[in-house]
Amino acid sequence: MCRNIVQKILDAHLEEKNARQGSEVGIRIDQTLTQDATGTMTYLQFEALGFKRVKTEVSVSYIDHNTIQEGFENADDHRYLESIARKYGILFSKAGNGICHQVHLERFGCPGKTLLGSDSHTPTGGGMGMIAIGAGGLDVAVAMGGGLFYLTYPKVIKIELVGKLRPWVAAKDIVLAILEILSTKGNVGTVIEFDGEGVATLSVPQRATITNMGAELGVTTSVFPSDNNTLAFLKAQGRSECFRAISADPDANYDRVITLDLSMLSPRAASPHSPGNVKVVSELANIPVDQVLIGSCTNASYADLMLVAHLLKNRTIAPHISLGVSCGSRQVLQMIARNGALADIIASGARILENSCGFCIGNSMAPEASGVSVRTSNRNFEGRSGTTDAKVYLVSPETAVATSVTGFLTDPTQFFSNQKYPEIDLPENYLIDDSMILKPEPDSEKTIIIRGANIGAPPKNDPCADVITGVVAIKVGDKITTDHIMPAGNRLKYRSNIAKYAEYVFERQDPEFAKRAMLNKQKGIANIIIAGESYGQGSSREHAAICPMFLGVKMVIAKSIERIHHDNLINFGIIPAIFMNGQDYNKIGLNDNLELNEIHKHIIDGEVLVCNNISAKSKINLIVNLSERQRKILLAGGLLNATRNKI
């Protein structure tokens, strides 16, 4: 059949067969996951759509982001999520059970299945041979109700792994090397597939590290074969019944093939302020460091923490270093607590953090002013750590431990050169304790949904206007992430309260934006955002579209828009327009008055949309790339309106 892994799994889930590359297709979704920062709005939308019960094979609601619970808001949200799960047939993973991607890999992931998650690092599941995709919460809500998920039938890049990693070089270094090659932009509509002799040298947790951080490439997802290593992991988790072997046909076709020799790799670090700003650690040696943080959904598996414990044993961290260590799941924490590894970590001077997203999303462990933080997490966007002027480097656990002991960014191949690399054996049987995963009620009619004061309703949008008369409310540059648009950290607690959360749109770029935009909206003036390349990078947070929509944003005009954010803009009725000529970005300024006419006709016919810059007395041509389905959604004022109409 000449099919690769991506084609085999997608084709088995297609609504229509014989899909063509580049065309929009709808696929059935087997599993979904949400987390509390995105999940609350997802389930509010699920309710608004009128669904009576989830129709997926498995849907899990995880509490892993907002666990600090400063104020009542997070606890309110968690109680709402727990009652929603009981009523609608969703499994509920309590706070403290672990990070969604780690726990899902351990307890629910199955080769050959499709997984849709309201978190951009959902591709972690690709380490187990799943097609696992991050999306906006509204897309997840529709999928839970039995609807299809739509995506562009992708290009597939094969990364041929040859050789074997040298001691002190890690899976994290593999994905950082790939980021060097492919960068963080220009990969929309692409899936990465791994193959080659080097695949067999990587465990499932190592593969999951690679597919997790593969999200930073901007690809739809990444996937590994399902093989004997996959079977061994599933057996150890007591779930061998869901194993199936999946590999590409020998003559499978790919759009591009990249060969990566694992034996030639050196420890790497993503330097401030992008996961794509990759450098060899030896070139960064001797940079003074203030903080080291080990954990997150990227590097907090049992093998990772056992390695950290082994390397820290009988060592003490540098006096000025603050070292924090977090397990990815309660399973990992219990296992290293029972075998003594946790005691070795504590003895080094480390602080033990909760099994949560915590420092990765900036709601705890913020560095000092202008501090340097070395982390094993997956993103180092400016300000994401919770400290605006901090410098964050992303590294492997090996590099993190070496750095914590020396107090300087340190190459582990040099620091540990006189020490034998520890071989960490994966357990034949992981500790299985699912007592913190609550099952739903069989009789949903008796379940009362608990709504605290922080629980709002999804904001409504009007159908798309045929004429937009608006003003450029903000102009931003390249690589604006969803963190820039909607800050995380202690602002996350307002995600179920859109009116409040909208007050912080573009808070770091322009503190007055929200007030100015709301005033324009009240005057009947549309707000328009102008942006450069790769607008909407990073997190899948749909609030980066919902909150601007609430403030009256009707259009984003950019040089390019990343996949998930592009879809989220459409889902909430904001026109995602691209400059036909990128140089026209320079012809529009802040506060310029813009006008667009006959929008419906141009969207329906797929024609060039002409933007009249009244202030500059010029015309600019725009492209709005939409499928037929997306045109209908946009004209209806968003997916919520369109789905309600369909139902």
Residue with tokens 């696929």: 27
Please check whether residue 572 is in contact with residue 638, taking contact to mean a CB–CB distance below 8 angstroms: yes
Other CB atoms within 10 A of residue 325 CB: 28
| CA-based radius of gyration for the chain | 24
- State pTM to two decimals: 0.92
In this structure, are 206 and 282 located in the same domain?
no
In this structure, are 313 and 352 located in the same domain?
yes
CA–CA separation, 170 vs 436, rounded Å? 32
In this structure, are 489 and 637 located in the same domain?
yes
Helix, strand and coil content of the chain, in percent to the nearest 5, comes to 35, 20, 45
In this structure, are 472 and 601 located in the same domain?
yes
Mean pLDDT of the chain: 94
Q: What are phi and psi of 18, to 5 degrees?
A: 60, 45
Mean pLDDT check: name the lowest of 30-39, 121-130, 580-589, 634-643.
Answer: 634-643
CA–CA separation, 591 vs 397, rounded Å? 47
Structure tokens given for 319:
């006096």
CA–CA separation, 471 vs 528, rounded Å? 6
Q: Coil, strand or helix: which one is 169?
A: coil
Strand partners, 471: 527, 593
Mean of the pLDDT values across residues 166-174?
98
Burial tier of 395 (Cβ tally within 10 Å: 0-12, 13-18, 19+): buried
In this structure, are 295 and 391 located in the same domain?
yes
Under the banding of pLDDT at 50, 70 and 90, the label for residue 535 is: very high
Let me know how long the chain is.
647
Quote the number of domains for the chain.
3
Q: What is the pLDDT of residue 33?
A: 98
Is 549 a member of any domain?
Answer: yes
Is 418 a member of any domain?
Answer: no
Q: What are phi and psi of 564, to 5 degrees?
A: -65, -40
Q: What is the pLDDT of residue 540?
A: 73
Handedness of CA 295, 213, 302, 261 (dihedral sign): negative
Please check whether residue 517 is in contact with residue 505, taking contact to mean a CB–CB distance below 8 angstroms: yes
H/E stretch holding 160 reads strand 155-162
* Closest of 545, 546, 587 to residue 565, by C-alpha: 545
In this structure, are 27 and 76 located in the same domain?
yes
pLDDT at residue 181 greater than cutoff 80: yes
**Cα–Cα distances in Å, from 440 out to 67, 116, 431, 444, 446?**
22, 20, 23, 8, 12
Q: What is the pLDDT of residue 496?
A: 82
pLDDT at residue 285 greater than cutoff 90: no
Is 601 a member of any domain?
Answer: yes
CA–CA separation, 151 vs 28, rounded Å? 11
Percent of the chain having pLDDT more than 90? 84
Q: What is the pLDDT of residue 492?
A: 74
Is 451 a member of any domain?
Answer: no
Q: Please write the tens of the pLDDT for every residue from 424-436.
A: 999 999 999 999 9
Which domain covers residue 154, as residue numbers? 5-264
In this structure, are 29 and 104 located in the same domain?
yes
Under the banding of pLDDT at 50, 70 and 90, the label for residue 21 is: confident
The crossing angle, in degrees rounded to 10, of helices 563-571 and 628-636 is: 50
Mean of the pLDDT values across residues 377-395?
93
Residue that is last in its domain, among 216, 248, 264 = 264
Please check whether residue 234 is in contact with residue 242, taking contact to mean a CB–CB distance below 8 angstroms: yes
DSSP string, 45-107: HHHHTT--S--SSEEEEE--SS-S--SSHHHHHHHHHHHHHHHHT-EEE-TTSB-HHHHHHHH
Q: What is the pLDDT of residue 3?
A: 95
Is 445 a member of any domain?
Answer: no
In this structure, are 176 and 299 located in the same domain?
no
Is 588 a member of any domain?
Answer: yes
Under the banding of pLDDT at 50, 70 and 90, the label for residue 647 is: low
In this structure, are 254 and 301 located in the same domain?
no
Pick the more confident residue, 640 or 170. Answer: 170
Prior bond of 101 cis (ω within 30°):
no
pLDDT at residue 258 greater than cutoff 90: yes
Q: What is the pLDDT of residue 641?
A: 87
CA–CA separation, 303 vs 203, rounded Å? 9
- Domain of 61: which CATH number? 3.30.499.10
Residue that is last in its domain, among 381, 397, 412 = 412
Amino acid of residue 84: I
In this structure, are 222 and 335 located in the same domain?
no
Is 461 a member of any domain?
Answer: no
Mean of the pLDDT values across residues 353-358?
94
Residue that is last in its domain, among 264, 281, 298 = 264
In this structure, are 143 and 54 located in the same domain?
yes
Is 576 a member of any domain?
Answer: yes
In this structure, are 349 and 236 located in the same domain?
no
pLDDT at residue 63 greater than cutoff 90: yes
- Domain of 614: which CATH number? 3.20.19.10
pLDDT at residue 143 greater than cutoff 70: yes
